[in-house]
Chains A and B, each alone.
Chain A
Amino acid sequence: MADLQHDLRPIAAIDDLDDLAEPYPDERVTAAPSYEPVPDPDDAPLTRAHAILAAHPVADGYNGLPWALRRLSCYDLELGERTVETDVPRLRGGHVGALFWSLHLPEGFDGDRAVGATLEQLDRAVNIARTCDEGLRLTVTAGQVADARNRGRVAVLLGPAGAPALGDSLGILRQLHLLGLRALTLTGVSWASDAGLTRFGEEVVREMNRLGVIADLSGASEQTLRRVLSLSRAPVLCGRSAARALRPHPVNLSDDLLAELGAAKGLCLVPLSAEQTGPSVRDVADHLDHVRAVAGAQCVGLSGTYDSGSAHPQELVDASCYPRLIAELLRRGWEESDVALLTWGNMQRVLRGADFTARAVQQRREPSTATISELDA
């Protein structure tokens, strides 16, 4: 103890620094510019985009690779697989740091077929990720996503699955969560319809909060969306929604809903889908501008929708193209801080929010044993 006090004494000398006779020379005080100035005005934003993305990679909210690979008997994602839109080299080229793999449910699947198909999709996704563990890392929590990034891997999260995957059962929701499911799209079931959430639907949302499964509301009815926004204690996603004010696609969100989503600190992930945003990178940027303006910079993110069957804007044909989009935003004057939120920060906030909510709710709530027949009779 005495030694410690003795050691502390010289620190008082630091005060002497205030009395420096001469200030540092100018060149040492001025912070170096963040990015190298580039003479070519068209090239500068792209260079900056790469630099920003290197620090704040893309967390891509929707990618359909597992389903797209189902017909390929042989593929190599680590060396590159040109028959699909996503592989490890292009993910790295596009500075993708995390991506959600959607668990595609074929049209019309419900009941046991939907449950079984989702188990198969989870299995396929897990096996694909395991075959390229140099490039990809399966993750469940926000902490694991950060960890994967620190190890130079692209974090893979499983979801969204379609709500029919639950087979109308909270027990099944819990098992899908155990198998890694992190997001669920609340459409296409009796308990989340145009009429909104039923009582069972509300219990599903509470149980999702308890588990840390994020609600995806793209394609959900307005009533469902509003009810989940008020009910969910964790932030929600609209995993594939652009601005309806710019393009009247049914899954795009009206300004009212965008504002409500923003007020609830949810996240609107703008899809790189020509059908929803328009055919060019400028169209996508228009949507991002609009969503940022209406919902707020903390409530906008990106969904590549690669390998999900949608046509992409010309300059954004695969997972390597994100720098072009970011360059366009920089040309429009987006601050680095807003770009960082768009690509990475907002999604991390939502993931952490889901984890935090789950831990908090698990202290208070037992697993729900409610059934659809008792709640929605």
Chain B
Amino acid sequence: MTSLEAARELLREFPVADGHNDLPWALREQVRYDLDARDVATDQSAHLHTDIPRLRAGGVGAQYWSVYVRTDSPDPVAATLEQVDCVRQLLARYPEHLRPALTAADLEAARREGRIASLMGAEGGHSIANSLGTLRGLYGLGVRYLTLTHNDNVDWADSATDQPRAGGLTAFGREVVREMNRLGMLVDLSHVAATTMRDALDTSTAPVIFSHSSARAVCDHPRNVPDDVLERLPANGGIAMVTFVPKFVLQAAVDWTAAADENMRAHGFHHLDTTPEAMKVHRAFEERHPRPVATVSTVADHLDHMREAAGVDHLGIGGDYDGTAFTPDGLDDVSGYPNLVAELLDRGWSKADLAKLTWKNAVRVLDAAEDVARGLQATRPPSNATIESLDAPAG
């Protein structure tokens, strides 16, 4: 049996529970939620990284669908609700493939039924507009993790890719974490500054997750997790779900991206500008400087290191499909996970360890968060704290 066959067999028993997929955002941007125009029960490889046939081929058994909205959105709360609605429409449309999931028990039920457990995660504190009531509303609608920030700071937490301001979490930020613990909503530390990661680990009584982050020691990018934080995961019980995004995982791609962004700014464009004129400048740059390509092996290097730093009980996978323009060779879309598992088998990972990586750790973390929530709900009412009351400027 080849390692790829062995990987597929393994995934049949313990499929991938992936921490982050931006299909809802892609559907919003491409077709404004017209699900007829992107029937994901059929091949959508011309438009998307994700469709049901490829999820099946990739051995995906659970997916946190990201209900991401832009940080500069004029109406982040409203847009987040629309994203939640999108996931619900997908669930209603493909019930034979997608199973609504809110709990660890739902994940296991989906695995038994052979359906893909579908959870939701909100990507960025801007989605709650500084309101614990809104946070609870999102939980009520089924959102099971909140990434504390996206690429920009929020008023109560620093992002990895913004200028330090709060120096981690503010008092209100810590209250957000506590309220998430009370609800049973996972604290997601992808995208946040290392200071925020440490503050959240100090505050959270439930396991945290990194829904899509890799190891900073392997590739020095702020989106990745530093070793001192990885080393705290065993005590916390949480997991770091390795992401595939080339510009985070491959040093050459990090450097190339920095140079490309600099080139854009030199031509007077914002580095994320995608207007035709900006794209022309970008293509010209790419012709002169070929884009470095990450591979399955690049991602496996991260997992090897993360296993050393955090331990095999504290790993997971968060591909960030449809949330990134480029993907590694061999992990081109959601059908690629078996290639990663095969690579790890070749590197000597045991089947037991791979089952933890793909499935068991993610289920355990959600289960533990539910446990913590039950305990807290017995002793603490919902928090009515406001950012004004907790983060009032000194004096």
Contact = CB atoms under 8 A, between A and B. Distances in A.
> In terms of DSSP, what is the predominant structure of the interface of chain B?
helix
B137 A120 contact: yes
Given A167-B81, A175-B81, A119 B133 contact: yes
B75 A175 contact: no
B382 interface: yes
Contacts of B393: none
Nearest to A374: B32
Contact-residue size bin, chain A (C-beta under 8 Å from the other chain): 20 to 34
A173 to B, nearest CB: 9
A195 B34 CA distance: 30
Interface in A101-152: 111-112, 115-116, 119-124, 126-127, 131
Nearest to A373: B32
Given A112-B76, A116-B131, A171-B81, A179 B34 contact: no
Interface in B74-121: 74-78, 81-82, 84-86, 88-89, 92
Given A174-B85, A367-B92, A111 B75 contact: yes
A121 B137 CA distance: 10
B348 interface: no
B136 A123 contact: yes
Contacts of A230: none
Contact of B78 (A131, A172, A367, A371): A172
Contacts of A174: 85, 88
Nearest to B142: A178
Interface string A166-200: 01010110110011000000000000000000000
Nearest to B138: A119
Contacts of A369: 32-35, 89
B85 A119 contact: no
Given A169-B82, A367-B92, A175 B76 contact: no
Contacts of A112: 74-78, 129
Contacts of A115: 75, 77-78, 81
B32 A116 contact: no
Nearest to A180: B140
Given A119-B77, A169-B78, A371-B32, A175 B134 contact: no
Nearest to B34: A369
B381 interface: yes
B141 interface: yes
Nearest to B141: A175
A124 B136 CA distance: 10
A111 B74 contact: yes
B75 A127 contact: no
B85 A175 contact: yes
Contact of B86 (A119, A124, A171, A178): A171
Given A112-B77, A131-B381, A169-B82, A178 B141 contact: yes
Nearest to A120: B133
A167 B84 CA distance: 14
Contacts of A73: 384
Nearest to A170: B85
Interface string B14-38: 0000000000000000001111000
Contact of B137 (A171, A179, A367): A179
A15 B177 CA distance: 76
B85 to A, nearest CB: 3
Interface in B267-283: none
A123 B141 CA distance: 11
Given A122-B137, A127-B382, A131-B381, A116 B129 contact: yes
B137 A123 contact: yes
For B35, B74, B86, B133, the residue with the greatest tally of chain A CB atoms inside 10 Å of its CB is B133
For A119, A124, A126, A178, the residue with the greatest tally of chain B CB atoms inside 10 Å of its CB is A119
Contacts of B88: 174, 178
Nearest to A70: B384
Contact of A111 (B78, B81, B92): B78
Nearest to B83: A171
B49 to A, nearest CB: 23
For A172, A175, A369, the residue with the greatest tally of chain B CB atoms inside 10 Å of its CB is A175
B33 A171 contact: yes
A371 B28 CA distance: 12
A169 B77 contact: no
Contacts of B133: 119-121, 123-124
For A73, A121, A167, A172, the residue with the greatest tally of chain B CB atoms inside 10 Å of its CB is A172
B87 to A, nearest CB: 10
Interface in A301-329: none
Contacts of B74: 111-112
Contacts of B78: 111-112, 115, 167, 169, 172
B17 to A, nearest CB: 25
For A120, A121, A371, the residue with the greatest tally of chain B CB atoms inside 10 Å of its CB is A120
A171 B33 CA distance: 10
Given A131-B381, A171-B86, A172-B82, A116 B77 contact: yes
Contact of A171 (B82, B129, B131, B384): B82
A174 B81 CA distance: 9
A111 B73 CA distance: 12
Contacts of A367: 85, 89, 92
Contacts of B75: 111-112, 115, 167
Nearest to B139: A123
Interface in B223-253: none
Nearest to B32: A371
A73 B85 CA distance: 34
A121 B81 CA distance: 16
B389 to A, nearest CB: 11
Contacts of B131: 116, 119-120
16 contacts: A73-B384, A112-B74, A115-B77, A115-B78, A115-B81, A116-B77, A119-B137, A122-B137, A122-B140, A123-B137, A127-B382, A167-B75, A171-B86, A175-B85, A179-B137, A371-B32
Given A115-B77, A123-B137, A369-B33, 6 more contacts: A123-B140, A123-B382, A126-B140, A127-B381, A178-B140, A367-B89
Q: Closest 7 A-B residue pairs measured CB to CB? A: A171-B85, A120-B133, A167-B78, A119-B137, A112-B75, A123-B133, A171-B82
